[in-house]
Amino acid sequence: MTTFRWRPEARAGHARAGWLDTAHGSVPTPTFMPVGTVGTVKAMTMDSVRSTGAGIVLGNTYHLMLRPGAERVRALGGLHRFMDWPGPILTDSGGFQVMSLGPLRKLDQDGVTFRSHIDGSKHRLTPERSTDIQYALDATISMCFDECPALPAAPDVIAKSMRMSMRWAERCRTAFVQRPGYAQYGIIQGGTEPELRAESVKALTGIGFEGYAIGGLAVGEGQELMFSTLESTVPLIPDASPRYLMGVGTPDDLLGAVERGVDMFDCVMPTRAGRTARAYTERGTLNLRNARHATDSRPISPHCDCLACSRHSRAYLHHLFRANEILGPMLLTWHNLAYYQRLMRGMRAAIVDGAFTAHADHLRAQWAMDDW
Ligand SMILES: CCOC(=O)Nc1nc2cc3nc(NC)[nH]c3cc2c(=O)[nH]1
Ligand SMILES: [Zn+2]
């Protein structure tokens, strides 16, 4: 029987390398979670996701509750069976998606009523319903139902929103079914106000969760404010608890957040960029639709073992995107996820080898070169 926990392996300042033990297997941290919004990592098979080195994938409660419905997924054996991913799955609570529906949703102290973007049907999410849906999906890691306020916002607006999210966190914890190897994460809110962030951490650790997410960031505040908020918030989280920074980010964001003690990440950038001809590489990004790649016989990256880099040229990817061929987004999504996983593995190895500072300097110097 597995107990859900994070085990430290090595440290470099605030950065940590470790293992996350779950009911669906152990995953090395720091880890990047590909986003599998509607039960699929777009343009990828789960075997190709596995081949990039991914350990945990993310599923969206909001999308899955609307289609095909949580009850149907449960009846079919849960999300692991449904999408054929035997490893850990983290499901978000739907909070963030629903908040971004704008006029299609009505928020009150008890939850959110909204209309489906698919067929306009009416739905309601509350802390209890969100937690029940994630249970029906058999999520390895469930997230609390929270409100992520748009930034910039006045401190009193941020405070009111955070305090509502803390009341919702209490209700989520009460509704959560504890099972060995499964987890529920509290989501720290508080905008970029250190005192509000501290109040939120205190409230959540008082309730007690298996892990803690830093929410309310990567919503337009900019990297400097994101990093300063991490510096004031992460040290308040219990050392043995896994930390998850939601919706982040670029390779440079990931490096800076790992340096500040974050263990887990999710972001749509590598998959979304893969569909829009943008390639991530050790030397910055490439827009493969650009004519300058039309005759370039080199792989996207000489350091990459993905299918695109081991079999094809930049010229071929350029051609596929110009011809609007499905294989283009498939190959480039594969490459971008492989790059993100290689980046995480490289940071982890440097922390374990006691060479993290030198590795961070090397990464930043390379990204600045974007000359190939
Ligand atoms: C993944 C769990 O998400 C939730 O259930 N709530 C939540 N999600 C967020 C997603 C975010 N994505 C970004 N930037 C792309 N920032 C985010 C914040 C939250 C959040 O505060 N709360
Ligand atoms: Zn590649």
Read out DSSP for 235-249? GGS-TTS-EEETT--
Q: Mapping DSSP to helix (H, G, I), strand (E, B) and coil, where does residue 368 land?
A: coil
Mean pLDDT (the chain) is 96
Q: Is 247 in the pocket of ligand 1 (CB under 6 A)?
A: yes
pLDDT score, position 98: 81
Count of H-run helices and E-run strands, the chain: 15, 16
pLDDT score, position 105: 87
Segment 243-267 shows an average pLDDT of 98
pLDDT score, position 97: 81
Amino acid code (one letter) for 46: M
Residue with CA at minimum distance from ligand 1 atom 14: 247
Q: Is 141 in the pocket of ligand 1 (CB under 6 A)?
A: no
1 band by pLDDT with thresholds 50, 70 and 90 = confident
> Per-residue pLDDT for 94 more than 90?
no
* Ligand showing the shortest atom-to-Cα distance for residue 200: 1
Helix, strand, coil tally for the chain in percent (to 5)? 45, 20, 35
What does the pLDDT look like over 318-367, one tens digit per residue?
999 999 999 999 999 999 999 999 999 999 999 999 999 999 999 999 99
> Per-residue pLDDT for 104 more than 90?
no
Q: 34-38, 209-213, 367-371: which range is least confident on average?
A: 367-371
The Cα 210–Cα 204 span in angstroms is 11
Alpha carbon of 148 to ligand 1 centroid (Å): 7
- Contacts of residue 362, Cβ cutoff 8 Å, sequence gap at least 6: none
What does the pLDDT look like over 189-237, one tens digit per residue?
999 999 999 999 999 999 999 999 999 999 999 999 999 999 999 999 9
Note if 110 is an active site residue: no
Length of the chain: 372
Catalytic residue among 138, 146, 253, 266: 266
Q: Please name the residue that has the structure tokens 């990464």.
A: 363
What does the pLDDT look like over 276-328, one tens digit per residue?
999 999 999 999 999 999 999 999 999 999 999 999 999 999 999 999 999 99
pLDDT score, position 93: 83
Note if 296 is an active site residue: no
> Per-residue pLDDT for 99 more than 90?
no
96 band by pLDDT with thresholds 50, 70 and 90 = confident
pLDDT score, position 252: 98
Q: Is 95 in the pocket of ligand 1 (CB under 6 A)?
A: yes
pLDDT score, position 298: 98
State the ipTM, two decimals. Answer: 0.96
User: Could you tell me the pTM of the whole model?
Assistant: 0.98
Segment 122-147 shows an average pLDDT of 96
pLDDT score, position 198: 98
Protein residues placing their CB within 5 Å of the ion ligand 2: 304, 306, 308-309, 335
pLDDT score, position 372: 77
**Closest by Cα among 96, 66, 93, 86 to 25:** 86
Say which DSSP state 295 is in.
Answer: T
